[in-house]
Amino acid sequence: MRPIVFLDVDGPLNPFAAKGELPGYVEHSFRLRGWSRRHRLRMRLNPAHGPALLAAAAGADLVWATTWGHQANTMVGPAIGLPALPVVECAQVGSGWKFAAVSRYAGPRPLVWLDDDFDLYPAARDAFLDRRRDAVTALVRVDPSTGITDAHLAAVREALVPHGGG
């Protein structure tokens, strides 16, 4: 079974909690659907992350798992050099957060997931991991003050090695 690498935007790609300059990051200003013309979202993205993620996820399907939904393909992806990716429909409803949607999308396939919020809902996370005890599952926590680093990319490659990726 082809593995999946799930990718969140805020935290991993947009280190919103970072203080000061971040080498390699470029500031972007996006107007989101439903926002007024004057209200824009500023975020920092590293254009090197797109090619690095594609390389780290070689042999796997790279999939958005973000509340940005399809807007990740029209705004974030192009800014970092990612092609249009499949999107997990993640409605943030209740304490289950994204776990149920990712579980449905992945089924029994091996998965690696880059996100900063795994610990917000520990009961839902633990139930997700318990349901996947027979499926390879690597949750790669990304600090929202640093964003994705070489260590995170190495963790993705390492998790994919036994499954034909990386």
pTM (predicted TM-score): 0.91
Q: Would the pLDDT of 91 be above 70?
A: no
Secondary element (H or E) of residue 8: none
> Quick one: pLDDT at residue 97?
77
Q: And the tokens for 57?
A: 């996820």
Q: What is the CA radius of gyration of the chain?
A: 15
Q: Would the pLDDT of 70 be above 80?
A: yes
Distance CA 111, CA 102 (A): 9
Domain at 4-163, CATH from 3.50.4, 3.40.50, 3.30.70, 1.10.20: 3.40.50
Distance CA 121, CA 118 (A): 7
25 vs 97 pLDDT, higher one:
25
